[in-house]
Each structure stands twice: as C-alpha cells, then as structure tokens.
Structure 1
C-alpha cells in the first residue's frame, strides 16, 4: 500500500465514522481477546489500542483477556454480549479450528458472530530452549528427535489450538515422536520453554521477539511460506527440507451475531483507520505482521473457507480434544 493510499484510507475511514463515533465515545469499546496476555494477538492489539481510540473519535478501548479452551471461553463471552457495537472480539485461526476439534461447541463459529474484518497475519515460529536443544535448524532438530524418540516434549498454548496443530504438523512432516504438553495460553507456555520444563514449541513472532533477542529462545524456522522482514536471516521450515510446510496465524475482529449494519461499518472503518496510522504501521512492521484488512463480506467468506480447510487438516493430523 502506498503512503498516499494509506493516508487516504485514514482520512476516509475517520471521516466515515462521523456522528456514530461521537455517539459511542462516552462508553468504552470492550475488546475481548480469547487468549492470554503476552500472546501474539495480545501484543498486536495492545500496540494498536491507542490508534484505535483515535480512529473511534476518542472512545476508550478496554482490552480484556479471557483465555481458556483454545479460545472458546473468550468467544463465548463475545457471542453473549449485546449487539450494540460496544463489544468486539479478536480471534485467530483457533476460531476456525475448534469446530473440528471439539465434539460440542457452545456457539456456531459462523452464524453466532458478525465478521468485521480479517485484519492480517502474524508469522509463527518453531522455537527451542537453547540450553536443552543443541539443534540450530530443522534438519538438525529432526535428527536429534529421531535419535531419541519419545524423549522430548513440545508445548502448545492449548490442546487443539493452531499452535498445537502447527507443532503436530511439523512432527508429522519430520516423522518423529514428541510428547505434546498443552498449556492454558501462550504466556505460561513460553515461560516453561524458557525455564526448560519443555524443550520446544510454536510461538507467534510478536510474543517471541524479545526472548529471541535476549537469547532465552532460539528460532529454528518460520512456519509460513515466506521469510519475515523482522528476521530476514531466519529461513522458513519449507526452505529447510519440508517444501510443503506452510502455517501462519491470521487475526480477525468480530462482533456478536446480528450486529447492526451501521455498527459494522463504523467499526470496520475504525479498524482500517487505526492499522493505517503511522504509529500502528511502525509497530506492526517491528513485530513482523502483515496487515491487509478485508471487508466484512470478504471476511465472512474467508472464515467459512478456513473452517472447511482446517476440518481437513485436523482429520489428517488426528487431533481431538483431550
């Protein structure tokens, strides 16, 4: 996106907010994150919250972490909230994975929400504890795990999450047996990888960057198809001998079902404007996120397609709720 177009987006979107933003500004916008503090999406939204407040004409933004059950706990609160434009949620791949992992869901991932925008994607990294794992790349890690089957553990942010799925897909591609240890959120998972209680895991780039710089974690590779500008020297898993490997984390802003069209328009305009503001663009660039907001209509179609895609992947990986 050129600077001119980005500026036009900001001016146009802020202008479109008009009186509706002023009307809502006396009450805060509650942003439910169905993930723990310190996760990739949490890092993203906290960085963008000041810009979102500006885009909403000064309306306060209150971020609320409600982790648990792979995102189901927080999203359950979102779908039960009044459809008045004062509560939104920010979900990721887990929202599309869960219907295939859990035998019973307390809500329908498609019909019980209103898509506002699939905002962008954040890279996922395979990381290890450098004191526990001498491997420097994917092939060395594969050889180490094959030499001692059933000896090592890999962590995830919860059973059936995209983090779990990405780890399981790598272990399957590498042909190795590694014990899965699920955690209740990214924060506890990363803490235990750093502490050496588990040897490795998959982490969203924003949640890993500080630990990579300090040396507390070592990145083995990018899980998606492309390298990330924030870590230009880190090859993808696909580059390292697993050419079909491709997993990335998207994130989307959603509202409760039957959110009025005017509120969808207002919130979508605010999201687009917020992520196009210079301070947000800078923060997203540093985190390595790719921002390309979709329209509500395109977002609805994307979510339906993702639910279908992950149904096939989950079946192949034989992942079920434990």
Structure 2
C-alpha cells in the first residue's frame, strides 16, 4: 500500500479540513484554494478550505494542534506562526512541539519601496540619507510585529540606521500613505505594489530575498546593495497536529507537491509573486527552528507587543 493510498483509504468518505488562520483573499488563502483541487485528488478526500481568523492566526492554528491525529485536519500557516510567541503574552500551544511540519511551500519576497520624492534611487543612497538625517525617516508596516515590521527592523539592525516605525492596520492603508508621502518607505510584498512601481508612484530600491525576484528582475537584492548579510522573506507552510503518523505526513507531502504543479497553483504562485520551495518533512523542522530563533530576536529588538 502506497503512502497516498494510506490517506485515501482512511475515512476517504470524509472531507479534509484545510484551516487557513488568515482572512479570505490573503496570499496564504489564495494559495490554499489554488492547491485544494489537486491536493484533494491526490489524497482521495474532498477538501474544505476554512478561514479561522483573528489574533495573528492563533485561533485557527489552535484548532489544528488540537485536531485528531488522523490527517483530516491540516493547516496552511504563515511566518506569523514563529512571530506570535514573541508579541503575544499567551499563545495556547508550542509553535514547534505542538505541530507536525509537512512542507514549506513557498516564500513571499518583499520589496523595499520609497516615495519618489525621497532623494534615494538605490539602497546605498537611502542609507547615506538616513545616516545624514538620523530619525527623520518614517517606515511603515502592516502592524506591530508583522513581517513587514520585522523586515524593517532587520534593515536597521544590519545597517545601523535610525528610522521611526509607523504601524498601520493592514497593507492597504500603508500603501496609500506611502504613495501620499505620509511615510517615506516600507517593505511590501511584490505583488501588492508591482502596479505602483510600474506606474512610478512608488520606487523599488531592493528586494529582501537572497536572490533577485523574477517578478522584478531589474531590482537588486538588499544583500548586493550595501547590506551583505541581509535576508528576509515571509513564507507559507503546511502543518498538522503533533504526532501525525509518518505515512500520512509522507503522503501529504507527495500530494502537495503534485498539487503545486497544477496550472491553478502555478498561476497563483506567479500572481502573488511567490517563490516555490521544496522543503519537505525531513527538512521543515530545522527550518521552523531557525525561523523561530531569527524572528524572536527581531521581535525583542523591535519591542513589539500585542496584548
């Protein structure tokens, strides 16, 4: 019996809940819904994508970690999973011990954009301006402790510049104020500002990932632009509750790899500016540990708290 048939034959008449602890229409939700048909076909289960929102994804993830270890409840999570332990006083589960990592599916490259009125056409000019005008630059984010906030904190840490953080309630208001000049710069996912960059209402200085993005091939990385140790991106992963049997984990990994090769998934990956990864259950635990360590250091540096 193959791994896939283990899952397909176990309660195959029952739907598989794919919990997305983020809002409908988010990048994670879009990818989850794109892979659901192929994942369902490969596992033999009808897939129900369910959004359980609030508190940085904690309520939704709580349902995953408390679920039976039968493979019928999985979660599609984001980088918030390793940020939350630092910004919330109480998280009702251990971000490493209470999950079974199945796969890290994709990363979400960020781009550092500035208002065009700022006299900086590249990162080196931005750093020179910031050092000549300490404390005068405001960088916006989607909220305290968000990935966009921590991307800015890492830039401060790696370059020694002095900037003020301005948190917004979401990326939409942030982009509006970046264009309006209320804040001078910020990190945003590439897909969310590509039209504004193309139109010239925002200027792209550098991308956050170690390699350039195919979505903005002419925009250099931060590492090649003056901060050689800088590397930051958000990511999307599939998890189950702790103790999920290995045959189910292996089957789900094969199923999600198959689903990611579908036209729907490839379209979603391209539209969202995502970079596909192939980090399976053998490598995913180490990835989670490294990301938790990195993000908790940045959270402590930022002083961000949410309760």
TM-score range, shorter chain: 0.7 to 0.9
More deviation, 222-231/291-300: 291-300
Question: 1:59 maps to what in 2?
Answer: 46
Question: 2:230 maps to what in 1?
Answer: 245
Question: CA 1:285–1:140 in 2, change beyond 3 Å: closer, same or farther?
Answer: same
More deviation, 85-94/118-127: 85-94
For structure 2, list consecutive stretches of 5 or more residues without a partner in the other structure.
none
More deviation, 106-115/284-293: 284-293
Query: What is the alpha-carbon distance in structure 1 between the residues aligned to residue 231 and residue 92 of structure 2?
Result: 30
Structure 1 residue 319 corresponds to structure 2 residue 306: no
Question: CA 1:318–1:49 in 2, change beyond 3 Å: closer, same or farther?
Answer: same
What does 1:143-292 correspond to in 2, within 5 Å? 143-194=128-179, 196-285=181-270, 287-292=272-277
More deviation, 36-45/295-304: 36-45
Query: What is the alpha-carbon distance in structure 2 between the residues aligned to residue 166 and residue 181 of structure 1?
Result: 13
Question: 2:109 maps to what in 1?
Answer: 123
Question: CA 1:220–1:106 in 2, change beyond 3 Å: closer, same or farther?
Answer: same
- Deviation of the 1:109 alpha carbon: 0.4
What does 1:40-119 correspond to in 2, within 5 Å? 40-57=27-44, 59-64=46-51, 66-69=53-56, 71-119=57-105
Normalised by the length of structure 2, the TM-score is: 0.81
- Deviation of the 1:272 alpha carbon: 1.4
Question: CA 1:100–1:282 in 2, change beyond 3 Å: closer, same or farther?
Answer: same
More deviation, 87-96/234-243: 87-96
Question: Partner of 1:90: helix, strand, or coil?
Answer: strand
Question: CA 1:27–1:214 in 2, change beyond 3 Å: closer, same or farther?
Answer: farther
- Deviation of the 1:51 alpha carbon: 3.5
Normalised by the length of structure 1, the TM-score is: 0.78
- Deviation of the 1:251 alpha carbon: 2.1
Question: 1:20 maps to what in 2?
Answer: 7
More deviation, 267-276/21-30: 21-30
- Deviation of the 1:225 alpha carbon: 1.7
8 Å contact kept, 1:67–1:184: no
Question: Partner of 1:291: helix, strand, or coil?
Answer: strand
- Deviation of the 1:57 alpha carbon: 4.0
- Deviation of the 1:289 alpha carbon: 2.9
Query: What is the alpha-carbon distance in structure 2 between the residues aligned to residue 37 and residue 100 of structure 1?
Result: 25
- Deviation of the 1:297 alpha carbon: 3.0
- Deviation of the 1:62 alpha carbon: 1.6
8 Å contact kept, 2:7–2:43: no
Question: CA 1:258–1:19 in 2, change beyond 3 Å: closer, same or farther?
Answer: closer
Query: What is the alpha-carbon distance in structure 2 between the residues aligned to residue 196 and residue 55 of structure 1?
Result: 49
Question: 1:293 maps to what in 2?
Answer: 278
Question: Partner of 2:283: helix, strand, or coil?
Answer: helix
Question: CA 1:181–1:44 in 2, change beyond 3 Å: closer, same or farther?
Answer: farther
More deviation, 29-38/267-276: 29-38
For the aligned residue pairs, the C-alpha RMSD in angstroms reads: 3.2
Question: Partner of 2:293: helix, strand, or coil?
Answer: helix
Query: What is the alpha-carbon distance in structure 1 between the residues aligned to residue 177 and residue 38 of structure 2?
Result: 33
Question: CA 1:218–1:49 in 2, change beyond 3 Å: closer, same or farther?
Answer: farther
What does 1:133-148 correspond to in 2, within 5 Å? 133-148=118-133
Query: What is the alpha-carbon distance in structure 2 between the residues aligned to residue 194 and residue 77 of structure 1?
Result: 39
Aligned positions, number: 305
- Deviation of the 1:202 alpha carbon: 1.4
More deviation, 249-258/107-116: 249-258
